[in-house]
Structure 1
C-alpha cells in the first residue's frame, strides 16, 4: 500500500473544508459591500443643541459689578503755557485746593500788567472829569456863569469816563483769571493716579492739549454699579442693603446700600443700572475692581433660566448665546447671573423651550444655517 492511498481520504476532506471556507469568506465580503452600499453616509456636521428650561427662583441674586471712584477727572491746562513745576506724582494723596502744578506764560504776565495800568489810567481820567463836572456844577449855580450846554457836556464826560473805569476793571479781572489758571489745583480730595507730562512741556491750545497733565480719583468714597435684570426690578428699593465681595479679599464681605436707580431699562440687555455708595475708609478697595454682588430678591412663581456655561460667549462688547430659529444660529444678547453646578443663570430675549447650541462658537456667524441634534444638558 502506498502513502498516497493512505492519505487520500484526509486530503479529500481538507480540500472540501478549504473550499467551503473560501466560499464563505467571499460571501461575507460581498454581504459587507452590499451593506455599506445600502447605508447612507451623512457628511454634514451636526451641532449639539439643548432646550432651555426654567428652574426654581432663588431668594438671593448674584450679579457682577464694578467699583468706580465717586469723583474722578482728568486735569488739563486752560491756557497756552509751559509746565514750570509739578508738585505731585502717581500715588500722592492731595487735598481739595492744593496746588498740583505750576505753569508759566510770560505774555499773560505782561497782559496783566498792561491791564492794571489801563485801570489806573482810566481812574485818573475819570477823577479829572469828575472834578471838572463838580466845579462846573457849583459854578452853574451863579445865574449866567455857565451855559446849560457846558454843564451837560461835563456831566456826560464824567459818566463816560466812569464807564471806561468799569470796562478797564472787567478786562483786568479777566486777565487775572487767566493768570490764575497757571496754577493747577485739586478739585477734590483724592489720589493722583496718572501723570503724563514733565516740566518744560508746552501745553494748552496748539500744544499737547489732547493729553491730560494729571488724573485724580477719589478713594475714600466709591460707587458700585450693577445691572439688575428686568425680572427683578420690582425688588429694587433705595436704601436696601447689598453685600458684595472682591477677589482680592476673598474672606471678607462688604456692605452698602442702594443709593441711585437709573429708572431706565437697557433694551439690549433688558436690565436697569443701579449704584451703591460705599465709604471706603482706609482705601482698602480700589476703583476698577470687579465685585460679586449678592442682591436680595423675593421668590416668585416664575423660574429662572439656566444654560450650560459652554453655551455663553463673552466678547468685549457683548455677551450672547446662539439660539436656533428656522435652522439658523441667531445671536441673542444676554446678561449672566448666578453660577451653580456648571449652569449659568441668563436674562435676555429667551424663554423656556428655546433651543440653543450647547457649545457656542464665535466662528459661527449670526444667522448662519446649521444642523443640530438635541442632547441633554
Structure 2
C-alpha cells in the first residue's frame, strides 16, 4: 500500500513538472509570436462623464445697473434692442448678453475727448509757431548775408578814399594841388571809415537777431514736442475710457450655450470676485470632453490616439467611436487614477454636458514591458 502511494506520488510530481515545462514553453512561444495581438485584444471599461469643451463664468469689470435690453447684433448693423440672454439660449461669439448702465463714465469720456481735441489744437498752434520761428531765422540769415556784403562794399570804399587821400596829400606837398583838395579827400576818407564801421556793427546786430531766432526755433520745437506728448496722453485717456466702456457690454467669448444666469434688470453689479456668483456661465458644446478616470493598473497602457468607444446610456447600447485626445499623464495622488479626455464631436447638440457615459478604451503594451520583451 505504501509503495503504491509512493509510485503514484512520483507519477503525479513528474506530470506536474512536465506540465509546467510544457506550459511555460507554450506561453513563451505565444508571447514571442504575437504579443501585440494579445495586448490589442484588451480594453479597460470605466465610467465617464460628458463635460463642455470650455466653460467660462462671466463677471462684471465695472459697476453699474443692468439695463433692461441689449443690442440685437454685435456689429451695429441691427440697432434693435432685445431682452436679456437667458439660460438655454445659444449665443454667438462676441454676442452681447447684457448691458450695464454707466452714465458717469460716458460723461467722463466726453470730457476726455474734448481734452484730446484741445491738445490737438495746441499741437497745430505749436507747429505753426515752429514754422514762423524758422521763417524768422531764415530772414535773419538773409540779412546777415546782406550786411556782410555791405561790409565788403564799405571796406572797398574806405580803401579807395584812403589811397586817394594819400595821393592828394603827396601832390599837395609838392605844390601840385591846393590844401582844400586834401581836406576834401580827408573828409571822404573819414566818411568811408564811418560807413565801414557802421556796416560791421550792423552785421553784429543781425547776428544777434539770428541767435535769438534760432533760440525761438528751438523753443518752438520743444513746445511742439510737449504738445505731441499731451495729444498722446489725451488720446490714451480716451482709449482707456473706451476700453472700460467696452466692459459695459457683457459678451460671449465663444459660440456656446448659457447654462447659468444670475442677474435681472436693475441689478447693481460690481467688479466680480471669487465670493460673488458670475453674471453668466457660457459653455461650449459643439465638441464635448469625455472625462474618464483610469485606474493605475491600466494608466500606463493608455496612449494619446488610442481607440475608444463611448456609450451614453441615454441613447441605449449604441457606441460612438473616438480616440483619446489627451491625458493628464500624472496620476491623481488621492484616487490613484489618470484623467483621460476624449473629444466627442457634437454638431447636432445630441449630447449634453453632465450626462453619464461609459468608455471602453483599447490598451497598448506598456513601454517598460515592450522594451524588456524586445531584448
Q: TM-score, normalised by structure 1?
A: 0.61
User: Is 2:320 the counterpart of 1:254?
Assistant: yes
Q: CA RMSD in A?
A: 2.2
Q: Residues 209 and 179 (structure 1 numbering): CA distance in 2 closer, same or farther, change over 3 Å?
A: farther
Query: Which residue of 1 is the match for residue 243 of structure 2?
Result: 177
- The whole-number CA distance in structure 1 between the counterparts of 2:123 and 2:269 is 40
Q: Is the 8 A contact 1:83 1:198 kept in 2?
A: yes
Q: CA deviation at 1:281?
A: 2.4
Q: CA deviation at 1:225?
A: 1.3
- The whole-number CA distance in structure 2 between the counterparts of 1:95 and 1:173 is 26
Query: Which residue of 2 is the match for residue 233 of structure 1?
Result: 299
SS across alignment from 1:236: coil
Aligned 1:216-365 pairs, distance under 5 A: 216-297=282-363
Structure 1 residue ranges without an equivalent (≥5): 1-56, 301-377
Higher normalized strand content (fraction of residues): 1
Q: Is the 8 A contact 2:60 2:272 kept in 1?
A: no
Aligned 1:11-90 pairs, distance under 5 A: 59-84=42-67, 85=69, 86-90=83-87
Deviations 1:32-77 (A, max 9, x none): xxxxxxxxxxxxxxxxxxxxxxxxx982211111111001111111
Which of 95, 118, 121 is matched with 1:98 structurally? 95
Structure 1 moving runs of 4+ over 6 Å: 206-209
Q: CA deviation at 1:166?
A: 0.6
Q: Is the 8 A contact 2:61 2:272 kept in 1?
A: no
Higher normalized helix content (fraction of residues): 2
Q: CA deviation at 1:229?
A: 2.1
- The whole-number CA distance in structure 2 between the counterparts of 1:102 and 1:127 is 39
Q: Residues 207 and 107 (structure 1 numbering): CA distance in 2 closer, same or farther, change over 3 Å?
A: farther
Deviations 1:178-207 (A, max 9, x none): 111111111111111111110100001499
- The whole-number CA distance in structure 2 between the counterparts of 1:129 and 1:209 is 52
User: Is 2:115 the counterpart of 1:132?
Assistant: no
- The whole-number CA distance in structure 2 between the counterparts of 1:207 and 1:218 is 23
Q: Is the 8 A contact 1:192 1:214 kept in 2?
A: yes
Q: Is the 8 A contact 1:265 1:271 kept in 2?
A: yes
Higher RCO (Cα < 8 Å, 6 or more apart): 2
- The whole-number CA distance in structure 2 between the counterparts of 1:124 and 1:112 is 18
- The whole-number CA distance in structure 2 between the counterparts of 1:124 and 1:137 is 20
Q: Is the 8 A contact 1:237 1:258 kept in 2?
A: yes
- The whole-number CA distance in structure 2 between the counterparts of 1:140 and 1:68 is 75
Q: CA deviation at 1:90?
A: 1.1
Deviations 1:260-318 (A, max 9, x none): 12221222222221211010121111111121111122589xxxxxxxxxxxxxxxxxx
Q: Residues 282 and 207 (structure 1 numbering): CA distance in 2 closer, same or farther, change over 3 Å?
A: closer
Which has the higher mean CA deviation after the structures are superposed, 204-213 or 182-191? 204-213
Q: Is the 8 A contact 1:72 1:215 kept in 2?
A: yes
- The whole-number CA distance in structure 2 between the counterparts of 1:205 and 1:101 is 15
SS across alignment from 1:179: helix
Which has the higher mean CA deviation after the structures are superposed, 157-166 or 177-186? 177-186
Q: Residues 70 and 122 (structure 1 numbering): CA distance in 2 closer, same or farther, change over 3 Å?
A: same
Q: Residues 207 and 250 (structure 1 numbering): CA distance in 2 closer, same or farther, change over 3 Å?
A: closer
Which of 164, 169, 178 is matched with 2:230 structurally? 164
- The whole-number CA distance in structure 2 between the counterparts of 1:187 and 1:241 is 32
Which has the higher mean CA deviation after the structures are superposed, 268-277 or 89-98? 268-277
Larger Rg: 2
SS across alignment from 1:132: helix
Structure 2 residue ranges without an equivalent (≥5): 1-38, 70-82, 142-205, 367-375
Q: TM-score, normalised by structure 2?
A: 0.61
- The whole-number CA distance in structure 2 between the counterparts of 1:110 and 1:203 is 20
Which of 152, 175, 186 is matched with 2:252 structurally? 186
- The whole-number CA distance in structure 2 between the counterparts of 1:273 and 1:206 is 31
Q: CA deviation at 1:231?
A: 2.1
